[in-house]
A and B are shown apart, each in its own frame.
Chain A
Amino acid sequence: VKGDAPDGEALASASETKQWLERAIGALPLPQREVLTLAAIESLPLAEVASILGIPVNTVKTYLRRARLRLVSSYERRTKVTT
């Protein structure tokens, strides 16, 4: 890499990851988003998440699994585009 101008794309990546993630979470279906927020961001135990949302623990697990899989595949697509 040579030249004096900061590399726009790379510069953007650091600050944009968070924005991307917020968008990606926003694009999840509501139930998945709720479960992800409580379980993955707030680190609540799954049983607690289930009782807050009033759904069975197994459903919580399913949503959580789907939410993370979607985020990862969206993340992988995104890195492919940028690199």
Chain B
Amino acid sequence: MNEDCKTIREELALTGGEAESESAREHVFSCSDCTRFAEALGKVEFELKALSGHDVSDEVVAKLLARKELGVNPRRTRWRVPAAALATAASVVLAVSLLLNRGHESFEREGDELDYREPNKNEESPPPRLEPEDEDRFDAAAGVSPPSPPSAGVFAPEDKRQDLSKEKLAQLEGELQEEKKDSLLDAGRFAARRPIPTGHRDPVYPDAARSARVQGTVILEVTVDRQGNVTDARVVESIPLLDQAAVEAVREWKYEPLETDAPRVFRVPVTFQLPSPDGEGLSLLEERAQVDGLRFVEPRGYWANTYLPGDPMRRRLERRPERTMGAIPALHETARPASLPFDPSSTSALSLFVHADRSGITSKSRLLVQVGIRASDHHGRRRPPMNVGVVLHLPENVSLSDASAVTSLVQSLASSREAGDRFRVITTGAGAKEIPPEEFSYGPLSVRLREWLEEPASSSPSLFEALASTLARVHAGDDPAMPLGTSVVLVVSGRSLDSELDRLLHMVQESAVGGVSVSAVGFGPASGEASLEKLALSGQGRRYDLGRAEDAPGVVDRELTSASRAVARALRLRIQLAEGVRLVGVLGSEPLSARAAARVRAEERSIDLRLSRNLGIEADRGRDEDGIQIVIPTFYAGDAHSILLDVVADGPGPIAEVTARYKDLVQLDNTVARANLSLPRSETAPGPLEATVAKDYLGFRVSEALRAAAESLDQGDPARSIRCLEAVRSLLARVGPSDSDLRRDVALLDGYLEWVPRFSAPRERDYLVSSLLYASSLKRLSPTTAS
């Protein structure tokens, strides 16, 4: 190792793998030892980021607390963040800053009883779940806790809350408890009887969140002292833009004095819900004209990716009307995304567009900036040989139709086999059985599959071990000369994965970074949609639902061609706003926490290095850039996607500069596309191009309204659900009665407005909720994926 290598490795070690100078980067990619070093570092770094918050070492916590002389008993050394806290980084960092900000006084007062893991150790432990006899007492607290108060707005005002009859609340709670037993929220909500609130302040809805239309529930862990004052509020489930407002509000809440000296610690959900989109119809136009009194967000850092290929819920919904809901039409089927008039490039994989909803401005104006990406239609490549492992996670008793669907899936795989393909199937459970590639042909498969499906599976097989072993084998057979995406593991599950989901997610994430993606196929009544979706997302794979045997060939075809349908990888969008242009929000997206951003970068770098090794596309990543950065791992042929930015420009002139840097899998090269937007001084009325930006925005609002309607209906509030739908409907009717896309949306909304009020039975209601959610997601899909 020469001096250069040493210096460069030290530099990489300092930054965690991001070489700062151009020469260092060049060196890393020309020196094979340093490349290996960078890969190992990337791997270690990825693992580090994956360590969860409770791995903060005792020493650091003890030292941190000691240094700040907070007077906390050092006995409280293990700093555990509840496993439920998804945004672990945010919560730990936030906890640190809360500790630091709060100063000495309150801590001294609380002394060593701060240990919130066991706040009640001197009194009898509270019931783990709400027992029937506790209902009365719980009622009183319910005014604070319903995840969604029945009236619009952030929180129901005091007087309205009192209007709610006790029965109604009990009923609401009962329903929620029954329907959402598994939800995180409830686990916290029913965990302990909480003190009775005597005063509370509504949170102030942050403007940034309002304009980005970020809403949801922040869960706080609140410490209340003997006098009933809130002495601490920590975020356990975070929504970055809303956390602070929630904490600020809750800190001013009051509770009845406690019966004991020990402080009480419990969880409080704080729900932020925007008023139904455009209650008055006109408000959209007013909102769009508003340029003052807005809060702006920094137009830099990493933001969440909003391009999601595939249509996970589709199959499930498509088959539901036949099976369960004869009467209700499949309204969701008429939902279409707003058309995006982007022409594909004939020479490169992606083309990039920037448009605004105005053709010119004369003064300070609020604008919608649309960043559009269009993939070329033709990938024109034969599908490469695929290396596929299928893990069958069968339920104890497989119904006849599920058995035939699973059989059909494996046999479709066998009949799609081409030269060079390596397919294998393995089952979970004790004595896991495997069909290796050399025996993967129709005859042996039929016999073995029938055996597997007929003999009852063991009662609680672990997916983890079978998946780990399959991943290892697929990794071993992963030919580094093949394009990324040709090695895939398909988890076919008819069981719930909840019990081992965390370790599964960690493993598939690691695997995806190492080049083997994991896709998920659910079948049967027990497969959990949400956990399969998480698995596929973490595994950078796709998500399918296997409803019937006829679905199987389609799933196999899409999975086998996914590698060849990808036209661009590691797409990094950078959006820089010109001087005098301020950002109100990126619609549907949000700034990523430091940890999430670090993960995005780790994934990006892994794709970068792999493609550099396999296809000779020079590695060029690892630097943060100025501006808004959005990383999309894979972009598929024929897809189009748009990102809408809500901005205020001081006047005419340059507005935004967009760069898309990606691995072009058509040209096998690093490609950079650039596009600029500048608005002239003019009062010309918006033309057709500008109208499509506005329509894109309206489509976004329709999607939001459908989702809000689904959530309200799910929470047992059809009236509110109807209000959401009516509001956006009246808006559309006002804005563009003559446009055919908008007319279709109006018809869609009318359909739901007709059917939602008719049903209150759980089965029909569930169906409508799924249908609304699906229609909402269809509105946001890439137009080509949806067709």
Tell me the A residues contacting B by CB distance below 8 Å.
1-2, 4, 6-7, 10-15, 17-18, 21-22, 25, 30, 33-34, 36-38, 40-44, 52-54, 61, 64-66, 68-69, 71-72, 75-76, 79
Tell me the B residues contacting A by CB distance below 8 Å.
9-10, 13-14, 16, 36-37, 40-41, 43-45, 47-51, 53, 55-57, 59-60, 63-64, 67, 89, 92-93, 96, 431-434, 436, 438, 464-466, 468-469, 471-473, 475-477, 503, 506-507, 510-511, 594-595, 597-598
Instruction: State whether A10 and B48 are in contact (beta carbons under 8 Å apart), knowing that A72-B37, A75-B40 are contacts in the complex.
Output: no
Verify A10–B59 contact, CB threshold 8 A.
no
B183 CB to nearest A CB, Å: 27
Verify B469–A10 contact, CB threshold 8 A.
yes
Instruction: State whether A11 and B434 are in contact (beta carbons under 8 Å apart), knowing that A17-B510, A41-B56 are contacts in the complex.
Output: no
How far does the alpha carbon of A69 sit from the alpha carbon of B47 in the complex, in Å? 15
A26 CB to nearest B CB, Å: 8
Among A4, A37, A79, contact of B57 (Cβ-Cβ < 8 Å): A37
Instruction: State whether A75 and B44 are in contact (beta carbons under 8 Å apart), knowing that A38-B60, A41-B49 are contacts in the complex.
Output: yes
Verify A7–B469 contact, CB threshold 8 A.
yes
* Chain A contact residues, majority secondary structure: helix
A7 CB to nearest B CB, Å: 6
Verify A37–B432 contact, CB threshold 8 A.
no
Verify A13–B472 contact, CB threshold 8 A.
yes
Instruction: State whether A15 and B56 are in contact (beta carbons under 8 Å apart), knowing that A7-B469, A22-B51, A40-B16 are contacts in the complex.
Output: no
- Which of A7, A18, A54, A64 counts the most B-chain CB atoms under 10 A from its CB? A18
Q: Closest B residue to A9 by CB, please name it.
A: B472
How far does the alpha carbon of A48 sit from the alpha carbon of B386 in the complex, in Å? 47
How far does the alpha carbon of A41 sit from the alpha carbon of B61 in the complex, in Å? 14
Q: Closest A residue to B12 by CB, please name it.
A: A68
Verify A43–B473 contact, CB threshold 8 A.
no
Instruction: State whether A11 and B465 are in contact (beta carbons under 8 Å apart), knowing that A33-B57, A41-B55, A69-B10 are contacts in the complex.
Output: yes
How far does the alpha carbon of A66 sit from the alpha carbon of B92 in the complex, in Å? 25
Verify A41–B67 contact, CB threshold 8 A.
no
Chain B residues with Cβ below 8 Å from A54 are: 67
Chain B residues with Cβ below 8 Å from A2 are: 436, 438
Instruction: State whether A43 and B595 are in contact (beta carbons under 8 Å apart), knowing that A38-B60, A65-B10 are contacts in the complex.
Output: yes
How far does the alpha carbon of A43 sit from the alpha carbon of B147 in the complex, in Å? 32
Verify A11–B472 contact, CB threshold 8 A.
yes
Chain A residues with Cβ below 8 Å from B9 are: 69
* Chain B contact residues, majority secondary structure: helix
Instruction: State whether A15 and B464 are in contact (beta carbons under 8 Å apart), knowing that A40-B48, A61-B14 are contacts in the complex.
Output: yes
Verify A41–B473 contact, CB threshold 8 A.
no
How far does the alpha carbon of A1 sit from the alpha carbon of B59 in the complex, in Å? 45
Chain A residues with Cβ below 8 Å from B438 are: 2
Q: Closest B residue to A8 by CB, please name it.
A: B469
A-B contact count (CB 8 A): 126
How far does the alpha carbon of A30 sit from the alpha carbon of B58 in the complex, in Å? 11
Verify A14–B40 contact, CB threshold 8 A.
no
Chain A residues with Cβ below 8 Å from B476 are: 1, 10
- Which of A14, A15, A52 counts the most B-chain CB atoms under 10 A from its CB? A14
Verify B472–A34 contact, CB threshold 8 A.
no
Chain B residues with Cβ below 8 Å from A6 are: 432, 465-466, 469
Q: Closest B residue to A2 by CB, please name it.
A: B436
How far does the alpha carbon of A79 sit from the alpha carbon of B47 in the complex, in Å? 15
Q: Closest A residue to B466 by CB, please name it.
A: A6
Verify A68–B13 contact, CB threshold 8 A.
yes
Chain B residues with Cβ below 8 Å from A64 are: 13-14
User: 14 other contacts beyond A43-B595, A68-B41, with CB at 8 A cut-off?
Assistant: A1-B477, A6-B466, A12-B468, A15-B507, A21-B48, A22-B55, A40-B16, A40-B45, A41-B48, A41-B56, A43-B49, A68-B45, A69-B9, A71-B44
Verify B64–A44 contact, CB threshold 8 A.
no
How far does the alpha carbon of A19 sit from the alpha carbon of B281 in the complex, in Å? 56
Chain A residues with Cβ below 8 Å from B431 are: 4
- Which of B60, B96, B464 counts the most A-chain CB atoms under 10 A from its CB? B60
How far does the alpha carbon of A61 sit from the alpha carbon of B20 in the complex, in Å? 15
How far does the alpha carbon of A17 sit from the alpha carbon of B9 in the complex, in Å? 22
Chain A residues with Cβ below 8 Å from B434 are: 4
Instruction: State whether A10 and B468 are in contact (beta carbons under 8 Å apart), knowing that A44-B93, A75-B44 are contacts in the complex.
Output: yes
- Which of A2, A43, A69, A76 counts the most B-chain CB atoms under 10 A from its CB? A43
- Closest 8 interchain pairs by CB? A10-B472, A43-B594, A6-B469, A68-B13, A14-B468, A65-B13, A11-B469, A11-B468
Chain A residues with Cβ below 8 Å from B89 are: 42-43
How far does the alpha carbon of A14 sit from the alpha carbon of B8 in the complex, in Å? 30
Instruction: State whether A37 and B60 are in contact (beta carbons under 8 Å apart), knowing that A6-B469, A11-B472, A14-B511 are contacts in the complex.
Output: yes
Among A1, A11, A21, A36, contact of B47 (Cβ-Cβ < 8 Å): A21
Chain B residues with Cβ below 8 Å from A40 are: 16, 45, 48-49
Verify A52–B10 contact, CB threshold 8 A.
no
How far does the alpha carbon of A43 sit from the alpha carbon of B14 in the complex, in Å? 13
Chain B residues with Cβ below 8 Å from A34 are: 57, 59-60, 63
Verify B436–A1 contact, CB threshold 8 A.
yes
Verify B13–A72 contact, CB threshold 8 A.
yes
Chain A residues with Cβ below 8 Å from B60 are: 33-34, 37-38
Verify A30–B59 contact, CB threshold 8 A.
yes
How far does the alpha carbon of A62 sit from the alpha carbon of B67 in the complex, in Å? 21
Chain A residues with Cβ below 8 Å from B36 are: 76
